[in-house]
Structure 1
């Protein structure tokens, strides 16, 4: 009787999390230095062969993406065009911003003139300028990759043929323009607290264009303010009629 062959299970190799950003961070901290995989591994405190092989592969991937230049076999330096990074926008109270990027040691300062319509928490692509001595690392947002938010609560201010929604959110630095055609059917009055959705933001316009999607009520009213707070935190403020009927039956002690 022949013996059954024992199954051999190969241990899965551990993948280094976020390796690309970690490597780019090292190169950006040493922008004038030529580095090899051993130096990268040493900086990341990686000693096993599997980890080193991942670094070698990632270095070649970055070379093929034209983000690194291989100056000689196995030796790399960061390219000038690698001054482009992706990150999350953090708007300050003064209307300027920082872009938080995992690949960089320090956040990138973005003056308001370089925001290019980016809003708080948007995912963006930013160009980082060469840092001047004793100055902040500064950049210019060149592309909005993903909007974090397009709906804002605010107070409607009506003029004769248009309106503006003045957002409650202190990090929303621009009022939302509502054209006459978008006001029709909204049933909103001057001074109402409303929900506006941004639909467009032309490159040459100071303000985003939007429309009113809901009227919450008058500022100061209890329900209006509760709904405003819920919306600011992305929480539901309206429920299906059957849910509300069920909630009314729940005894309050």
Structure 2
């Protein structure tokens, strides 16, 4: 992180700490810090990175705020064949809904940390995976496919709803259609 970025991070933390119960759109933060238009995409990427690192919180509707300890919980992710999942905690708390787009790289059975979104009255708790703590499995069985530019495995497990991309050097000479 360069000096300018460190300064921006400090300014963002200052704004969020001054109003800890409020969330901000990226443009609101950029305006308060006076980020120029050409620098805005890099600023937005910096906010995403800070959220992924758990240094600030990203809430629904692309809003950012302070990370509150109570907003992050750990448990086992149970994925449905439709692609969404539920976080089940050891404490037996209410399940947390995780949409497919908020699952990140987590797979069925993984132990994950989930950042909770602000609770909406009448709706179940919802969140997004911010970290895979422990993988439930090391191997995934599926059908190998190769295209001109990349290779991937289409998993047999219906609860894994996305293909697993394979780097060209890691194909182990597998042939298209092999298991």
TM-score between both structures, scaled by the size of structure 1: 0.41
Matched, 1:114 2:102: yes
Structure 2 partner of 1:192: 178
Q: Cα distance, 1:153 vs. partner?
A: 0.9
Mapped partners of 2:104, 2:138: distance in 1: 16
Matched with 1:136 is 124
> What per-residue deviation string (whole Å, max 9, x for no partner) do you get for residues 61-112 of structure 1?
xxxxxxxxxxxxxxxxxxx532221100000111111000133531100111
1:105 and 2:97 aligned: no
Determine the C-alpha separation between the residues in 2 that align with 1:161 and 1:111: 30
Q: Is the 8 A contact 1:157 1:191 kept in 2?
A: yes
CA contact (8 A) 2:97 2:127 kept: yes
The aligned residue for residue 9 of structure 2 is none
**Secondary structure of 2:74's aligned partner:** strand
Structure 2 regions of 5+ residues with no counterpart? 1-67
Q: Where does residue 181 of structure 1 map in the other structure?
A: 169
Q: Which residue of 2 aligns with 1:160?
A: 148
Stretches of structure 1 lacking an aligned partner (at least 5 in a row): 1-79, 194-253
Aligned length, in residue pairs: 112
Q: Cα–Cα, structure 1 residues 107 and 160, in superposed 2: closer, same or farther, change >3 Å? A: same
Cα offset, 1:161, TM superposition: 4.2
Scaled by the length of structure 2, the TM-score of the pair is 0.57
Aligned to 2:139: 151
Q: Using the alignment, how far apart are the partners of 1:115 and 1:161 within structure 2?
A: 26
Q: 1:179 to 1:141 in 2, by over 3 A?
A: closer
The structure whose Rg is larger is 1
Q: Distance in 1 between matches of 2:168 and 2:132?
A: 28
Answer yes or no: is the 8 Å Cα contact 2:78–2:86 preserved in 1. yes
Question: CA RMSD for the aligned pairs?
Answer: 1.6
- Preserved contact between residue 107 and residue 160 of structure 2 (Cα < 8 Å): yes
Q: In 2, Cα distance between the equivalents of 1:133 and 1:156?
A: 45
**Residues in 1 aligned to 2:69 and 2:149: alpha-carbon distance in whole angstroms:** 47
Moved over 3 A (4+): none
Greater relative CO (CA pairs within 8 A, separation 6+):
2
